[in-house]
Amino acid sequence: MSNMSTISAADVNKLRQMTGAGMMDCKKALTESNGDFDAAIDFLRKKGQKISLNRADRAAKEGAVIALTSEDKKTGIIIELNCETDFVAKTDDFLKAANDIAQYAVNAKPANLEALKASTINGVALEQSLIDLMGKTGEKLDVSKYEIINGENVVAYIHAGNRMGVLVEMNNAPSDANIAAGKDTAMQIAAMNPIALNESDVAPETVAREIEVGKEQAIAEGKPAEMAEKIAMGRLNKFYKEYTLMNQEFVKDGSKTIAKMLTDTEAGLVVKSFKRVALGA
């Protein structure tokens, strides 16, 4: 007997929001997977549905994301300060608080979010300054994210009116040319949301999952089982091109990968790491 009645309309709607798949497909996927969202997403993909892997960006809390680098480019930070409404997020007081926290972080280099939250900035404990600002705005405020990169050459980029921040760490000493290439790479990361730097950085469980989904898709399309593995590996290569930064086509020039754009800019130039923080994600 089907347990369709136990899947709530709210859950079906949530899966629709996450995946963009149709209502009946979402209901069937949740039923087949006993309400497990990750399993339901896999079910939809195995049936050949095109699902966005960037679905985490859809949740939205308001606030501001600030990305900054030190003057010597050796440290880059991103902080996210949240509030409840877009109205407060755009006020001078709120943006000043976000920028003060970011400026403190790039100078003091706290090790993690807990250390940042325990800081004293301009003579006032961060926790106390947020309480004071809550009193002014009437909204709950919180620093929800903090990322730091220390390296040879870090470029920061803030996208879409403080709604996203990106850091890119490169290997060569800073130059006008590679900083410009770093900015282009950061814009690429903002737009294309790669999940890893290159193939070897993709989590083994993600690779295994992609191969499994690729095989199931091939079999669902009527391909013989002995060909399914080969087809799945071909699809895995396509996955790497779409979701790993160095293999992605450069948005500004589709004839090059990001890796090629970087080495064309400067001999031996590569990205060593990156961070991307989207508001509310």
Chain-centroid distance of CA 182 in Å reads: 17
Q: Is residue 209 part of a domain?
A: no
Tell me the torsion sign for CA atoms 192, 193, 194, 197. positive
Give the number of other CB atoms < 10 A from CB of residue 105: 24
Q: Is residue 43 part of a domain?
A: no
* Measured distance CA(100)–CA(122) in Å, rounded: 9
3-state secondary structure of 261: helix
Q: How many domains does the chain have?
A: 2
Which of 9, 277, 1, 6 shows the shortest CA–CA distance to 143? 277
Asked if residue 132 and residue 80 are part of one domain, the reply reads yes
Where are the alpha helices (H) located in the chain, listed in sequence order?
9-19, 23-32, 37-46, 86-89, 92-108, 113-117, 126-137, 176-192, 204-220, 225-243, 258-265
Asked if residue 259 and residue 167 are part of one domain, the reply reads yes
Asked if residue 31 and residue 126 are part of one domain, the reply reads no
Instruction: Give the range of the structural domain holding residue 181, as residue numbers without chain letter.
Output: 59-197+255-278
pTM comes to 0.77
Any idea what the CATH number is for the domain that residue 259 is in? 3.30.479.20
| CA distances for 37 relative to 10, 19, 31, 50, angstroms | 13, 10, 10, 16
Asked if residue 271 and residue 183 are part of one domain, the reply reads yes
Tell me the torsion sign for CA atoms 173, 176, 177, 179. positive
Q: Is residue 64 part of a domain?
A: yes
* Measured distance CA(30)–CA(239) in Å, rounded: 25
pLDDT digit of tens for each residue in the chain (281 aa)?
Answer: 344 457 898 899 888 877 778 888 899 999 999 999 889 988 887 877 666 544 433 333 899 999 999 999 999 999 999 998 899 999 999 999 999 999 999 999 999 999 999 999 989 999 999 888 887 887 788 999 999 999 999 999 999 899 999 999 999 999 999 999 999 999 999 999 999 999 999 999 999 999 999 999 999 999 998 899 999 999 999 999 999 999 999 999 999 999 999 999 999 999 999 999 999 88
